[in-house]
A = this chain, B = another copy of it.
Amino acid sequence: MPEVRRHRRSRRSRGKDSTAGTPSAPPYLTRKIPLYEVLGEEGLVIIENNAETILEEIGVEFRDDPEALDIWKQAGADVQGERVRIPKGFCRQLITHNAPSQFTQHARNEERSIIIGGGNTVLAPAYGSPFIRNLDEGRRYATIEDFHNFVKLAYMTPHLHHSGGTVCEPVDLPVNKRHLDMLYAHMHLSDKPFMGSVTASERAEDTVEMCKILFGDDYIDPLSGEPKTITTSLINANSPLTYDDTMLGALKVYARNNQACLISPFILAGAMSPVTVMGTATQALAEGLAGIAFAQLVKPGAPVVFGTFASSISMQSGAPTFGTPEPTLVLYVMAALARRLGVPFRSGGGFDAAKIADAQAGYEAANSLIPALYAGVNFVLHTAGWLEGGLVMGYEKFIVDCDQAGMAAILLNGVDVSENGQAMDAIAEVGPGNHYLGCEHTKANFRTAFYRSPIADNNSYEQWKEDGEMDLAQRANAYYKQQLAEYEQPAIDPGVDEALRAYIDQRKAAFPDSNIA
C-alpha cells in the first residue's frame, strides 16, 4: 500500500466546542517539541539483538490457527507444533519493506480524519471496562446508555481526536451482538474516527461491512484502488510470546481489508514479562515484531501500529500497579524501538489503579500521560476515563483526563519564538515594579495566553468554601452532565443511517442471543 499522505488541516468548526477559551483543537496534535529518550543507541541495539535471538531460538506460539501456521511455514519460518521460530532479521526486514510509517485513518467527517504516525499524536478514550463509575451511582455494570454517553462526551471534547472502541462494555446487550450496537454508536453519534471489533473474526467482518455502508462510494480510495483505512483495532498478544486464534482471526480480516491494527503486547511486568525494564522491552519487541510481520505476510503494506501496554505488578500482592516509574522507562524504550522499526507507536495515557477519581488517580494518570507525550506516542489509547486498572470507566475521571489532554496540546505546541512571543515591547512598557495586567501586549494576547481549565478550581479559599467545598470530581460531575445535556448529534445521511440499521437488524436476526464471548 502506498502511504496515504493526503490530509486536511482545516480548523473549521468540527462540532460543539464547549471548552470556552481554549484554542480550537486540530484533528490531532502535531509535535513541535523534541522527543525524549532514556536509552542510547548501544542499549537499544542490545534489545534489538536480544529480541531477534528470542524469535529465532525460543519462538512465538500462534495458537489454534492452522492458517497462521501455514502462512509462517510458507514464509520460511521453523514451525513445530504451534511454536514458530523466525530467522534473525526476517521480521524486521519484512516490516521495514512493507509496513507504512504513517497512514490516514479516515473519519466520515473528512475534517476529522487523522494521520497516525510521524510527529503526530492522537488521543483516544479508555477501552474495555465492564464497569462504570460516577458520583451519583458509584460503581455498576456498564450499559449501552453509558456507551452512548461516552461516545457523546468524546465527540464533544476538542481534546480527544478519536471516538475509541469499546469505551465500556455494554453488558446489558448479548455478547455476540453488542459489537453491532457499539459500532453503530460510533458511526451515528460521532463523526470522529473509531475502532473495530476484535472479539471474533465475524465481528471484524461486520465492522468492515458497516464501514462499507458508512462510506458508500467513498470506501475505495481512488488513488490506491484500496479500501480506505476507516478503523484502527486493538490486537493484543497474550504475553509472553503467544498470539491466540481470536486475535489472529480479527487481525487477518482487518489486514486483508486494509484496516489498521494496533499490535500490542499486553504486559503486566513481573507476571507476563521479566521484572526488569530491559527484559520487558526485549520480550515486547519480539512479540511486536512477530505480530506485525504476520500482518505483513497476510497483506503486504497493511497499516499497523506497534503498541505496548506495559504496567508492573505489586510484588507483594500480584495486583497491577500504574503510574509507577518502571513502566515509564519501558514506554520510552519501546517508543524509541518503534521509531527505529519505522512504524507508528501506541501506548496508554491516563492509567491508574485508583478506585475513584482521587489524588491517586490524578498522580498516576499524569505519570502515565506525560511520558506518552514526551516519548512521541502516536496513538494514546486510554487517555480519558480509566479507573481501577481498566475495570472501570469513570465519568468524572473522563472529564478531568480530557482537561489534561487539553493541556497536552499546548505543551506539544512548544515555545513561540516570534517577536510577539519575545514580548520585549511589553517589558519596556511596564518597567520595574509595575504589573502587566493592562499593558498593550497583555490586551492583545490575553484571550489565548494561558490554558483555561473548565473544572480546575483556582479561586480563593473563601470563594471555594462559598461554592460548596467541592473537589475536582464533584466539579467534573456537574460538567459531564452539562455536556450531555448540550449534546447535538452530527448530521448523518438518512439513507446511510437506514442501511446501517438494516444491516444490524439482519445480523441480529441471524443468531440467537448469547452471552458466551
Contacts and interface: CB of A to CB of B under 8 A. Distances in A.
Nearest to A275: B449
B315 A452 contact: yes
A241 interface: yes
Contacts of A38: 33-34, 414-415
Contacts of A47: 422
A374 B371 CA distance: 10
A367 B367 contact: no
A423 B278 contact: yes
A197 to B, nearest CB: 25
Contacts of A325: 407-408, 410-411, 451
Contacts of A318: 437
A242 interface: yes
Interface string A3-29: 000000000000000000100000000
A355 interface: yes
Interface string A332-372: 01000000000000000000011111111111111100110
Contacts of A442: 270, 274-275
Nearest to A411: B325
Interface stretch (A90-98, A168-176, A456-464, A494-502): A456-464
Contact of A451 (B46, B324, B392): B324
B421 A312 contact: no
A367 to B, nearest CB: 6
Contact of A426 (B139, B279, B370): B279
A326 interface: yes
A316 interface: yes
Interface in A376-397: 388-389, 391-392, 397
A471 interface: yes
Chain A interface size range: 35 or more
Considering the complex of A and B, which 10 residue pairs feature the smallest CB-CB distances, nearest first?
A: A362-B362, A279-B423, A366-B366, A274-B423, A241-B432, A275-B449, A358-B471, A359-B362, A360-B472, A325-B410
Contacts of A61: 432-433
A39 B54 CA distance: 40
A404 interface: yes
A400 interface: yes
Interface string A298-324: 000000000000001111111111001
Given A37-B34, A427-B58, A471-B359, A277 B407 contact: no
